[in-house]
Structure 1
């Protein structure tokens, strides 16, 4: 769960540190107090899109840091951490996001710098944010397959991996077939270009790693004087009268004279002799290297010319000579393909047909798994509907296929399934696509049902609801409050709400308010006591003016919430 959140210089927040607990935490406050800004900060921690507009006016950067504690050693986060080389100690994960005033984003996981894409991979295993925007996502049938696959993802993993491999290979082969099957004029132009490139590289007569060897030789020639001085000084210090080797020889002979009278002398005399002979060999090597050194300015010019030619080719064909030679090999393969186009087209057709058959089999397996999951999900959704006063509603998941020219299912990146969620909210009415039937309040309830179901399957540690209860009231509001609390049994839930029924259900109630300080607006967070919670609930019921009736109603809501919690625990 999200244990601590630290925000600095973010929008109207100067500096804020919030501690969160398990269960349901509700955030309330006046419109514009900064409730959604806190959710925006958490969304950025999860890898959301950043902007320099988030940086508090007059500051250089915004900093957001979140500490998550992981109870289960089997949590998906450990697999993600291993994949990206991040160490997790004591079940703690710290996500950090910095956004500079220039719009640059800096991301860290447990103090390790990561890309935004990697931060997003961590974020989606820890945080699930549900907002009114996500309800719009649910309305788009193109997203329904993704929702279905979220229900039992572990059952799809292997089949998806195998299908994805085949589909990507199939796509590559079809692309190559299309390229080879282009009109003759384009292929002739392509062949001319390839022939030119092949001849240009061949004429250079490159050798593997030639650029590295030439760079090393150039370095030696360019620094001839320094190398010569270093070697001769070292040699003169070691060899000659009263030099290093002579003194070592005297030490060695001195110890050898008395080895028979002392075991230490015997042992160390042998060590010293070994060092002497090793150093003597090194001295001779230095001398030979000095004698082999030659300063050849003409050779240096030759190397410069050759490296200039190689660098010209690098700009066209690759960063190293080995890359250029590898590119040349690919060019030869493509020339051979174009020259023998008909043969290769026939071969490609055979490969495409074979892989397409295998891909269809894997897609069929995906379809069968999804069908089974759809039946379970449908029953679960209908069961949950009853708690949200949609007991007369019916729900179904339809599967449709699109055929290709061969009257076979047309494949896409997720198989051949096209899925739609269908709903009927009134008895006797036919099932129709979700967005054509459901009202805003009904869509919110459908999404809430899906969240409750998926919370058990996904293992996400923190579920966040940002004003998902807009447009509902009365008994539906109470039902939504109860459903949100039920979700908190499986995951920590943070919820921004304007409904007193939802706020009353909180295990922890935090109040967000704006303060004026030195002509600047700042957001502050306060955890409410029971008396303060009653007062805030009363305000939510009646507005700014508190009445005895509203206070009694607030107390009644808290009693009802307490009774519900005891009943379902």
Structure 2
């Protein structure tokens, strides 16, 4: 459950704190007052990308913070634990900092996290239904996804989709094998040449870095020998070397320390310095002796670097990309050298995967078929709750279309009865609907009005809403295109739904707002030549005034106030 939302410097919001409560939370206000900014802020809080121009003019940063009650939400706790987030089993605090330049920061319980974690959290705490979401019902591609969500088929569907992708990968190999022979040989010649070129070069990881280091040493070898020799001579040479002078000082300090103990620490420090310098002298001597002044080796190194640079320019810019290109070329060579033996192996592999796919798709199909009546019955019950008593809503399955590759695959695999193979499984689904008694049902996209789509989306949200771990369901103007008795029915249904899930609802309908457990008024005002959005939680008197405004407009009448009181009293 969403408990608290803080927004700073976002669009027309300068600073806003909103407290939400269990049940039905309604947000109302004039068009353009900033109601949808609150929904947008929640979307951004849970991972949605945002344009930086939404940061309030004159500000460099915006902040959004949400506090969620997660007591008993075991799936979410598992997500957070896996991500390494320190857990408070009662609530989580999510915060996003947005900046005009560069990347913002994201926190969960004061720990920095990625936006991908926010997206993983979102399904467990929020379900946002935006103003255009009902239009998604017009696309039949979404119907099967909604139904699968209702019946809990996500795991079975993922198995089917994975096996389909594996089958498709095998098909792609077959397709490459069917290229014309001349084209295949031409491509193979080019690839064999490139493979041979890289193999001949015998490229090693980081070889260019190591050779460049060696080249610098070889190019400066004589100078390095001179510097090392001169440094060694000054430290430990025959004529008044630094170490010889330190030995003399050390003897005198030893005499001083015997007579005055205050010199003892300095004597120890001098001994340490002497040993360090002696080590340095040995290193300089060995370093100078070990340098190979070899013009021939320098030439070989430079030639090798030129060769590596040529390969890098040709194959991606780095030695890593050269090596990756080599591996890719080897895979392509294998595909192009498509032998009869490899063809048979792929056929066997395809048949095995197809058998697994058929088994998984059959189980998914059986689950779908077994839940149709339950889904239709649940929808029928809900239709009567939103003033669609005479409506009928049913599901109709159809076989998926034949794939482009099915015909030649049947011939190649000698499987004349190869069934259609589709990523969704063995069937497609479309919702059929009629709002009027005695009328024939037709595809939803052909017959549903805007108001009917709004109510159908509410129905689907209702029957698919979780009950074990309730989320916050957000409806942004779910009452679009309706009014009067229909709007009242939608409000009543939202109230009932709010007994299980916390509901946030933006509405322009008094018939919906009357059912609120908590009613917030969103207003836009001008202060110090700046526009800003404010939100106030309404008391009983405020609710009467707001419902009267929603009924009558700006010129609120005594009759409108009386009607508003009656609506609130009768809810």
TM-score (structure 2 length as normaliser): 0.80
Shift of 1:291: 4.0
Shift of 1:469: 0.9
Query: Which residue in the other structure is 2:180 paired with?
Result: 183
Deviations 1:479-526 (A, max 9, x none): 211211222223321111111122122122111111122333221111
Which of 353, 356, 359 in structure 2 is aligned with 1:358?
356
Shift of 1:54: 2.5
Shift of 1:143: 0.6
Asked if structure 2 preserves the Cα contact closer than 8 Å seen for 1:508 and 1:527, the reply is: yes
Shift of 1:465: 1.0
Deviations 1:122-164 (A, max 9, x none): 33443222133111111211110111122133x531x234323
1 CA distance for matches of 2:230 and 2:539?
81
Asked if structure 1 preserves the Cα contact closer than 8 Å seen for 2:45 and 2:66, the reply is: no
- Secondary structure at 1:456 match in 2: coil
1 CA distance for matches of 2:59 and 2:120?
27
Matched, 1:206 2:226: no
Shift of 1:319: 6.5
2 CA distance for matches of 1:222 and 1:555?
94
1 CA distance for matches of 2:148 and 2:174?
32
TM-score (structure 1 length as normaliser): 0.80
- Secondary structure at 2:336 match in 1: helix
Residues 165, 223 of structure 1: alpha-carbon distance in 2 compared, 3 angstrom cutoff: farther
Asked if structure 2 preserves the Cα contact closer than 8 Å seen for 1:25 and 1:509, the reply is: yes
- Secondary structure at 2:27 match in 1: strand
Matched, 1:307 2:305: yes
1 CA distance for matches of 2:71 and 2:208?
53
The aligned runs of 1:102-113 (5 Å cut-off) are 106=104, 108-110=106-108
Shift of 1:438: 2.6
Query: Which residue in the other structure is 1:137 paired with?
Result: 136
The alignment's C-alpha RMSD in Å is 3.9
Query: Which residue in the other structure is 2:508 paired with?
Result: 498
1 CA distance for matches of 2:72 and 2:220?
58
Query: Which residue in the other structure is 2:35 paired with?
Result: 35
Shift of 1:30: 1.2
Which of 430, 436, 442 in structure 1 is aligned with 2:440?
430
2 CA distance for matches of 1:180 and 1:491?
55
2 CA distance for matches of 1:430 and 1:285?
96
Asked if structure 2 preserves the Cα contact closer than 8 Å seen for 1:109 and 1:119, the reply is: no
Residues 322, 132 of structure 1: alpha-carbon distance in 2 compared, 3 angstrom cutoff: closer
Asked if structure 2 preserves the Cα contact closer than 8 Å seen for 1:45 and 1:123, the reply is: no
Query: Which residue in the other structure is 1:44 paired with?
Result: 44
Residues 458, 215 of structure 1: alpha-carbon distance in 2 compared, 3 angstrom cutoff: farther
- Secondary structure at 1:5 match in 2: strand
Asked if structure 2 preserves the Cα contact closer than 8 Å seen for 1:156 and 1:369, the reply is: no
Asked if structure 2 preserves the Cα contact closer than 8 Å seen for 1:45 and 1:96, the reply is: yes
- Secondary structure at 1:362 match in 2: helix
Unpaired runs of at least 5, structure 2: 237-241, 255-274, 408-415
Matched, 1:150 2:149: yes
Shift of 1:298: 5.6
2 CA distance for matches of 1:6 and 1:298?
71
Between the two proteins, the alignment pairs up a number of residues equal to: 531
2 CA distance for matches of 1:523 and 1:47?
23
Shift of 1:44: 2.8
Residues 518, 325 of structure 1: alpha-carbon distance in 2 compared, 3 angstrom cutoff: closer
Asked if structure 1 preserves the Cα contact closer than 8 Å seen for 2:513 and 2:547, the reply is: yes
Matched, 1:195 2:192: yes
1 CA distance for matches of 2:559 and 2:503?
30
Query: Which residue in the other structure is 2:495 paired with?
Result: 485
Which of 361, 366, 369 in structure 2 is aligned with 1:368?
366
Shift of 1:555: 1.9
- Secondary structure at 1:445 match in 2: helix
Matched, 1:13 2:10: no
Residues 132, 334 of structure 1: alpha-carbon distance in 2 compared, 3 angstrom cutoff: closer
Asked if structure 2 preserves the Cα contact closer than 8 Å seen for 1:46 and 1:122, the reply is: yes
